[in-house]
Chain A
Amino acid sequence: MIPIDYYLWLSAVLFTIGVLGVLYRRNAIIVFMCIELMLNAVNLVMVAFSNYMNDAAGQVFVFFIMAVAAAEVAVGLAILIMMYRITKTTDINILNRLKW
């Protein structure tokens, strides 16, 4: 059977790829996708621990995380479309005018 630490390593690598994508890309849609990737890395480690501890609470939390992720993507993409309508680009560097 698969040891629990294999899942921890895998989640760490997936989470790091997500963080790398957020830092590396300038397209706001890709940044969103990388955030989804990070959420999935966390979900994976929660399911692994839920199975390891024989406790269903972890999987219920994953269920809630999925619901929140769906809500987040819906609102985020709506904001993105509104931003595109005004600026005609999805470049996140345009958003630095929000600083002032």
Chain B
Amino acid sequence: MTLNLFYFLSFVAIFASLLVVFSKSPVHSVLYLIVAFFAIGGHYLLLNAEFLFIVHIIVYAGAIMVLFLYVIMLLNLNEESEPHKSNLLKFAAAIAGGLLLLILVASLKGVDQLPAATMQHDVGYVKKLGHVLFTEYLLPFEITSVLLLAAMVGAVMLGKPEKYNKG
């Protein structure tokens, strides 16, 4: 049952990711990316990582995807304005991607000798994760908040029209 669910979620994730790359309109790409993110979130649930599942849905499907859709709407991108690479470059990109996959497959060849995971741990629960986050990783957590503040200030500064940035 769990294995069937794994196969289903993997199929959805891979299929949606391929459609992100190959769909013509940017809006469709964003919508397929949301599907792929939900499938990956389902994998987190399968791995007993409940906190990360919630954070993943909120951050990716809630914040990042809305940002993407908003920018596409703002720039009014559609199929006609879509730039295309030449066929030679597309062929070269496919070859390069295939070679990368080949290398990854070759490096993972001996990995099936690992014993199967038990997958019954409680590391993904909020209580345990919060304890680790606020004791062992407190300093990186605080630095992350500074990073988010810097990103916010930077985004506002970059997003303003040019004339307000003088002086």
Contact A79 B123 (CB under 8 A): no
Give the contacting residue for B90; candidates A9, A24, A80; CB below 8 A.
A24
Contact B137 A60 (CB under 8 A): yes
- Residues 6-22 of A, flagged 1 when their CB comes within 8 A of B and 0 if not, give 11111011111111110
Q: Which residues of A contact B74 (CB under 8 A)?
A: 81
Q: Which residues of A contact B88 (CB under 8 A)?
A: none
Q: Report the bound CA distance from A26 to B137 in whole Å.
A: 39
Q: Report the bound CA distance from A67 to B146 in whole Å.
A: 11
Q: Report the bound CA distance from A24 to B94 in whole Å.
A: 7
Contact A12 B159 (CB under 8 A): no
Contact A59 B144 (CB under 8 A): no
Q: Which residues of A contact B44 (CB under 8 A)?
A: 44, 47
Instruction: Bin the interface of chain A by size.
Output: 35 or more
Please name the residue on chain A nearest to B161 by beta carbon: A85
Instruction: Bin the interface of chain B by size.
Output: 35 or more
Q: Which residues of B contact A71 (CB under 8 A)?
A: 147-148, 150-151
Q: Which chain A residues have a beta carbon within 8 Å of chain B's beta carbons?
A: 1-10, 12-21, 23-27, 29-30, 32-34, 36-37, 40, 43-44, 47-48, 50-52, 54-57, 59-60, 62-64, 66-75, 77-82, 84-85, 89-91, 93
**27 contacts across the A-B interface (CB closer than 8 A):** A1-B116, A4-B111, A4-B114, A12-B104, A16-B100, A17-B97, A21-B20, A24-B90, A26-B83, A26-B84, A26-B85, A32-B68, A37-B33, A40-B36, A40-B40, A47-B44, A48-B47, A51-B117, A57-B132, A59-B52, A63-B133, A64-B140, A67-B148, A74-B151, A78-B154, A78-B155, A90-B83
Sample of 20 further A-B pairs with CB below 8 A, known A25-B21, A66-B59: A1-B119, A3-B117, A13-B101, A14-B17, A17-B21, A19-B97, A24-B94, A30-B20, A30-B29, A51-B121, A56-B128, A59-B124, A64-B137, A74-B67, A74-B151, A77-B71, A78-B156, A78-B159, A81-B75, A81-B159
Q: Which chain B residues have a beta carbon within 8 Å of chain A's beta carbons?
A: 2-3, 6, 10, 13-14, 17-18, 20-21, 26, 29-30, 33, 36-37, 40, 43-44, 46-49, 51-52, 55-56, 59-60, 63-64, 67-68, 71-72, 74-75, 77, 81-85, 90, 92-94, 96-97, 100-101, 104-105, 108, 111-112, 114, 116-121, 123-124, 128-129, 132-133, 136-137, 140, 144, 147-148, 150-152, 154-156, 158-159, 161-162
